A = this chain, B = another copy of it.
Amino acid sequence: MLGNFRYHNATTLYFGEDSLQYLNDELQKYGQTVQLIYGGGSIKKNGVYDAVTAILKANGKTIVEDGGVMPNPTVDKLREGVAIARANQVDLLLAVGGGSCCDYAKAVSVSIYCDEDPWDKYFVRFEEPTCKVVPVGCVLTMAGTGSEMNGGSVITNHQEKLKIGHVFGDDVMPKFSILNPRFTMSLPKRQMVAGIYDIFNHICEQYFSGEDDNVSDDLAEALMRSVVRNSLVANEDPQNYEARSNIMWAATWALNTLISRGKAGDWRVHMLGQAAGAYTDATHGMTLAAVSLPYYRYILPYGVKKFARFATRVWDVCPDGKTEGELAEAGLAAMENWMKTLGLAMDLRSLGATEEMIEGIADATFNLDAGYKALTRDEVVQILKASL
């Protein structure tokens, strides 16, 4: 059954090959000065930077540059972005890039008019903003994080070896996001498949918990089927618009709160993966991939009914002649086969983790009491060793 909940998501989305033109309409709603946030410069190569700045200029906006956002945005970069925003009294934070840029823009937005240190306030004490929040808009160039339609923001603190996410409320969600699947097509294949696994794992984290009949799980299965089917097409032909458009739209709905309504979540794979990411600085989706199967195989006996449903509903495993446990394992075997086909990282060692890091990664892994089984720290170490 569905438990009690609230649902509200007011982000306006423009989707498709002609979607960037709607930036003209959105810019009318905001003030003069736009902080243009982007990453390592790929948008300067694929034409997106030129297209966006042309629209900003045509609308008479003052552009304040804020490039160089790294794949795992750091607290040092966050403080730099806040300083830029303050110095220029910006009216809109426009993230042009993937989830990292969008996450970073949200962290900047809640920190500009905040006197406290943002790391302490938002990523240690998990407080809500008590100051003015500067609006965020997004031109998305990578499908994965869902950051374009949620309040999530993940920031990494290398000094403390922590990578922590905060899900902010309605006011911090992007006011608008522009999703053009063509903008994702110049992404290197390794980044594409890492994003695809991030999407799939977002759905898993909300799916593998609870055993009631609820429509949220039906919707989760629909998104997983679409992601799997289209990822296999995109893996063979990254320029396939049909596949890339479905993946991009599924990514948004995988993490905009819909499929978590009225049910428990887990998020342990993200906790493990993010802890590993703080040690290795590896690509987010790859860290998730590396720990997923050891974790799911470990908890399978405690949620066997759901894993069996996963096998039949997502992977079309035929239940005939199988016990529930065999069916459940066959589902994870199908998932493993799919992951290997995409060329995902299947272990943490390939991402730069070592035996010596295990204890530290375990210390940085949070939320041990979610999901089908509460984990002890020893069990976390055991799962991390199996992931190595």
Interface residues of A (CB under 8 A from B): 1-19, 22, 212-215, 218-219, 221-223, 225-226, 229-230, 241-242, 245-246, 249-250, 253, 258, 261-262
Identify the closest chain B residue to A225 (Cβ).
Answer: B218
Partner of A16, one of B2, B12, B17: B2
**A5: B residues at CB distance < 8 A:** 15-16
Q: Are A6 and B2 in contact (CB-based, < 8 A)? A: no
**A261: B residues at CB distance < 8 A:** 15, 249
Kindly list 15 other residue pairs between chains A and B, CB separation below 8 angstroms, not including A6-B13, A7-B12. Answer: A1-B245, A2-B245, A2-B249, A4-B17, A5-B15, A5-B16, A6-B15, A6-B22, A7-B13, A8-B10, A10-B10, A213-B226, A214-B245, A219-B219, A249-B261
Q: Are A213 and B241 in contact (CB-based, < 8 A)? A: no
Q: Are A245 and B262 in contact (CB-based, < 8 A)? A: yes
CB distance from A239 to the nearest CB of B (A): 13
**A246: B residues at CB distance < 8 A:** 1-2, 213-215
Give the distance in Å from the alpha carbon of A245 to the alpha carbon of B261 in the complex.
12
Copies of this chain assembled into the complex:
2
- Of A2, A11, A241, chain B has the most CB atoms within 10 Å of the CB of A2
Identify the closest chain B residue to A214 (Cβ).
Answer: B246
Q: Are A14 and B19 in contact (CB-based, < 8 A)? A: no
Q: Are A15 and B262 in contact (CB-based, < 8 A)? A: yes
Give the distance in Å from the alpha carbon of A249 to the alpha carbon of B5 in the complex.
11
Identify the closest chain B residue to A13 (Cβ).
Answer: B7
9 contacts between A and B (CB under 8 A): A1-B245, A4-B18, A9-B9, A213-B226, A215-B223, A215-B249, A215-B250, A218-B226, A221-B222
Q: A222-B218, A222-B222 are in contact. Are A19 and B2 (CB under 8 A)?
A: no
Identify the closest chain B residue to A2 (Cβ).
Answer: B245
- Of A3, A10, A14, A218, chain B has the most CB atoms within 10 Å of the CB of A218
Give the distance in Å from the alpha carbon of A316 to the alpha carbon of B350 in the complex.
41
Q: Are A241 and B1 in contact (CB-based, < 8 A)? A: yes
CB distance from A276 to the nearest CB of B (A): 30
